[in-house]
Amino acid sequence: MLKIESLTKQFGGLTAVRDVSVSFEKGKINAIIGPNGAGKTTFFNLISGVFLPSSGRITFNGQDVTKLRADEMARLGVSRTFQTTSLFDRATVLDNLIVGHRLRTRSGLLDVLLGTPRLKEEERVCREKAREALDFVGLSHVANRLAGDISQEERKRVAFALALATEPTLVLLDEPAGGVNPEETVGLSKLIRKMVDTGLTVCLIEHKMNMIMNLADKIMVLNYGEKIAEGTPDEIRANPDVIDAYLGKEHAAA
């Protein structure tokens, strides 16, 4: 579904992603792990069109999307969550979803601000999608609460709903369980499974190894911007390079 070839991103003298090639299969849960600063988020930013790669190629469903912008990628069906969930804390959860949806699918904010009649109909559709997405992530009961008043775990679910509202086929989740407790992490894992069960393809970045090892079909390991390993959870757990660079002994296979 997604094919990455020799992807590289430089920021001045720093190479954040170096010559990474990998493919993500449709209907699977693909994970990216690695130490802080390894280039994981940058990798997502490249795929989702936030950054233009320095070199390399990205193919999505057979189409070269290397140079597309974030709103163009969203319209093609690639959507994402961010490592920190920025919400408008003084707006309701539902309004956050409506605005978020528009910001992701439109290149210009002007349309939204001017509020033309054509826009009104779009907004109605948008509101419906937002409600569906909230229902899917199990948050219908907080639709009218202020975003500033919900828990971290609920914020994470809002982030999922934001990503789902654009009707993606590929969802990129950047640390979906960051800052939530182990019990809530299990709940979020279930939600990710449910996403895949409805036909979505998921790619996630996460530091929570139990979650990744239980959830992922395939794992890619980045270290200093380079892919150092790729494989099933069992293969990754047993890989000496990965244990050295990231996992340490406690997560290693017996």
Ligand X SMILES: Nc1ncnc2c1ncn2[C@@H]1O[C@H](COP(=O)(O)OP(=O)(O)OP(=O)(O)O)[C@@H](O)[C@H]1O
Angle at alpha carbon of residue 100, lines to 29 and 166, rounded to 5°? 45
Q: How far is the CB of 11 from ligand X (least distance, A)?
A: 3
40 touches ligand X by CB under 6 A:
yes
Q: Are 70 and 103 in contact (CB under 8 A)?
A: no
**Which parts of 82-121 interact with Mg ion (CB under 5 A)?**
83
Which of Mg ion, ligand X, none lies near 11, with the C-beta cut-off 5 to 8 A by kind? Answer: ligand X
Phi and psi at 60, nearest 5°, equal -120, 120
By CB under 6 A, the count of residues binding ligand X is: 12
Q: Which of 35-43, 54-62, 129-137, 229-237 is the region at the interface with ligand X (rule: CB under 6 A)?
A: 35-43
Q: Which of 36-44, 129-137, 153-161, 212-220 is the region at the interface with ligand X (rule: CB under 6 A)?
A: 36-44
Q: Which of 11-19, 89-97, 183-191, 243-251 is the region at the interface with ligand X (rule: CB under 6 A)?
A: 11-19
**Which parts of 21-50 interact with Mg ion (CB under 5 A)?**
40-41
**Which parts of 54-83 interact with ligand X (CB under 6 A)?**
83
Of 11 and 248, which CB lies nearer to ligand X in the complex structure? Answer: 11
Residue with the two structure tokens 């009104």: 120
Q: Which of 30-38, 68-76, 113-121, 186-194 is the region at the interface with ligand X (rule: CB under 6 A)?
A: 30-38
16 touches ligand X by CB under 6 A:
yes
81 touches Mg ion by CB under 5 A:
no
Q: Half-sphere exposure (CA, 13 Å, Cβ side) for 1?
A: 20
11 touches ligand X by CB under 6 A:
yes
The number of beta carbons lying within 10 Å of the beta carbon of residue 61 is 14
Query: Alpha-carbon Rg of the chain, whole angstroms?
Result: 18
37 touches ligand X by CB under 6 A:
yes
Token readout for 93 is 């959860």
Q: How far is the CB of 246 from ligand X (least distance, A)?
A: 10
Nearest one of 201, 207, 152, 212 to 172, comparing CA atoms: 201
In whole angstroms, give the CA distance from residue 163 to residue 74: 9
The number of beta carbons lying within 10 Å of the beta carbon of residue 70 is 19
DSSP state of 148: G
Nearest one of 78, 64, 18, 13 to 43, comparing CA atoms: 18
By CB under 5 A, the count of residues binding Mg ion is: 3
41 touches ligand X by CB under 6 A:
yes
DSSP state of 220: E
Which of Mg ion, ligand X, none lies near 138, with the C-beta cut-off 5 to 8 A by kind? Answer: none
Q: Are 221 and 22 in contact (CB under 8 A)?
A: no
Site residues (vs ligand X, CB under 6 A): 11, 14, 16, 34, 36-42, 83
Site residues (vs Mg ion, CB under 5 A): 40-41, 83
